[in-house]
Each structure stands twice: as structure tokens, then as C-alpha cells.
Amino acid sequence: MTANSIEHATRDPRDHMLWGWGKGGAYYQRLARILLKAHQSGLRWAAHRLREYLPRFAGAKYEQVRASDLSLKEAQLVIARERGFTSWEALIERAIMLGADPTEHTDDTLSAAFEAVRKGDSDTLRELLKHDPSIVNAMIKAPEISEDYITLLEYAASIEGISTDTRLPIMRALIGAGARMEKVFWANNIEAVQLLIETGALRSDESPAVWQIKSAMLHGNRDAVDFWIERGISPCSFWMAAGAGGIDSVKSYFAEDGALKPEAASDRPNLGEIGWFEETCRSDDPQEILEEALCIASLNGRAEVAALLIERGARVDAIPPGLGAVWTPLHFAVFKGHLAVVMLLAERGANLNNKDGAHHLSPLAWAEHENRVEVARYLRAHSTII
């Protein structure tokens, strides 16, 4: 890839919707098969997407869409059009262009560049980039930041212990050298996101920003969620309203008799899209939809919304299959250190000793693992009496 093509790649707003950009076509092929399976199971969220992105279903009733056959090729087209591409082939070509599966680099120049970022030394970083421009999008393991391979720009956006005045010149140097920016929006670092908007990587009013708020919610990055909401990016579904903490918006999805309205099923959270837990046996059961929303509210620290959802019938120890059938709402809250939600769930009867379905860890073990000091203190004090 030439420097010019890299520069072009970083300026295409569609790239911010390519969450699986290091994984080639296999990631999107899996999403297409998930959509096809959901349609075959008659799920409303699948029908909703087909009505929006396949012309033959435009204006059709949900029952008509559900009763129709769907090919894998059509499911692929929906996945592509959701991300701003006119064809499946164009999507895959773009994903491959953005990078093949990462391999670990042990180059001394790259290691020195990461060390310069860690120290906040922008002058040394510029010299290293000048010496070897190819390192700007190379990837390396940085366990203190992520279990995944990350680039210098992702590292600069996420590393703790450096000031904004130090961080921003480093990020500007990397962006000027052609760094890809799409994954950096995932960082829960508002100054970094503002800088990316400043450079023209993404306007805060364009459609890919909706994908960024969705990604932030699934990661539990509450500051980033609030950042996008303040810029007018509104949640567009029941679970997103829960993650945003919009109590009135959440209430609007309930009928006068307290039942969940059908449109609450039109879009569903999928942790598999960000590399977390894969959904299992999802259904349109309102109870399941309600409990997915409770988990997302808990992950994002929305105590008031969580209380409302519990009052409306969500079970505090639910393990929704659509979120992988792995964590309870308490695990989600503990993972991000939301003490107010932890206390609420405990007061409403949550089992404080429940072990998750993936690592078999209790909420307290997760709190200690993630260094959530206040949450761990609370759990130790209450686990024997609740």
C-alpha cells in the first residue's frame, strides 16, 4: 500500500463502520450468516434490517418479510449496505485494503517508537517515523492497554499517565504520518476523539458516528457515549436508549399496560461485533429483550434506567443468550466499576456469588482482576450477608 492510498484510507468515513477491519472477509461473512440465521428464525431485528436495506422489502409488513426466503448473497448485501457500500465485493475489497491479519513486529525501530509514545517524547517519535515510515500502522502487543495487537496511534490514545498537552502532539505526528484512525474512536478518551474530529477523520454529525456510539456502549465507554450524545447523535433503539441513560426514551418503548412495544425488538446488541461473547439462540421474547437492555445499562453505569427495567420485570440474575449467555447484569456493572449499579442490583436481590459462564469468576473476582477497588470493598462487605 502506498502512502497516498493509506492517506485515502484514513479519510474514508465508512472505515469507522468496519469494526472487523483486521479480519478480512471472514468477519463479515460470519455477520451475514448470523443475519441469515436470524431471518430463518423469524426474528424481528432481522426483518427490520431487510426492510431497510433490500429494495424488494421496502414498505413490506414484518409478517411478509418473515415469510419470504432470503439468500446468503442478499444477507451479504445487507451487511455491505449497512456500512455504506453498494456491494458485498466493495466491502470485502475495502476491508482487505485496510490490512490483513496482524502479526507481531519485533523491529527495534517500532519498539523504540512505542517507548517514545510511552514517555511522551514527540520529537523522538517524529525522527523514528522519518527514519522508517512503515511503522506508522504496524502493530505490536501492549498488554497494559489491550490483549489485541494495537498501533502506535491506538496506544497513544489509550495510554494513561500522560497529559493532554503531551498526548495531542504525539497523535498529530502519527496522523500526519498517515496513521489509520478508525479503531482509535473506540478509546474512552474524549480529548483523543476531539482531535480526530479536528483532523477531519469524522464529522460528529455524520452517520458513522452512530456506529461509534454503538461501539462505545458495547465496550462500556460511558464518557465516549456521553460525548456523542452531547453532539446530537441520538440512540436509535431500545437497548441503546438504556445504554445512554435516557430514562424518558426508555419509557417510550413501553405501552400503557406496561408491555414492551414490538419496536424494541427492531435492533439488538451484539457483543460478538466487538470481539466479545457470541450470541446463542436469541429470540424475540420480550423478557429477553428487557434483560439485554438491563445488561447494557449496567455496563454503562445507568443506575436509574437499570432500576426502571427491574421494576418492569427484568431479572437481576438474568444471563441473556443474545449477549452470549455468559454474564449477569452484576458482572457487567462490576467489570466497568459502576458501584451505584452494583449496589442497586445487590439491593434488588442479585446473587453476589454467581460465577460467569466463561471464566467461572465471581463478581468479586472480576472486581479484583479489574482493580475496581470500591466495588471490591463493597462486595467483600456484603457477600456474606446478602
User: pLDDT by residue (tens digit) across 342-385?
Assistant: 999 999 999 999 998 888 899 999 999 999 999 999 999 997 64
Do residues 149 and 275 both lie within one domain?
Answer: no
Confidence of residue 17 (pLDDT cuts 50, 70, 90): low
H or E segment to which residue 140 belongs: strand 140-141
Cell of 25: 472477509
Q: What is the pTM of this model?
A: 0.73
Cell of 116: 517514545
- C-alpha distances in Å from residue 93, one per residue of 96, 222, 356: 5, 33, 38
Confidence of residue 103 (pLDDT cuts 50, 70, 90): very low
Do residues 242 and 378 both lie within one domain?
Answer: yes
Do residues 189 and 83 both lie within one domain?
Answer: no
Q: How far is CA 1 from the centre of its chain?
A: 28
Could you tell me the maximum CA-CA distance found in the chain, to the nearest angstrom? 68
Is the predicted pLDDT of residue 298 greater than 50, yes or no? yes
Over residues 145-169, the pLDDT tens digits come to 666 677 888 888 888 788 888 888 9
103 assigned to some structural domain: no
Beta bridge partners, 254, equal 260
Q: State how many domains the chain has.
A: 3
CATH of the domain at 275: 1.25.40.20
CA atoms of 198 and 201, how far apart (whole Å): 7
- Domain containing 63: what range? 22-97
- Among 74, 97, 120, give the residue marking a domain's end: 97
Crossing angle for the helix pair 24-40 and 44-53, nearest 10 degrees?
A: 110
Higher pLDDT, 295 or 272: 295
**Residue 300 in contact with residue 245, Cβ under 8 Å?**
yes
CA atoms of 102 and 84, how far apart (whole Å): 25
CA neighbours closer than 13 Å in the CB half-sphere of residue 276: 18
3 state SS of 87: coil
CA atoms of 38 and 41, how far apart (whole Å): 5
112 assigned to some structural domain: yes
Do residues 85 and 179 both lie within one domain?
Answer: no
Beta bridge partners, 141, equal 149
Higher pLDDT, 32 or 201: 32
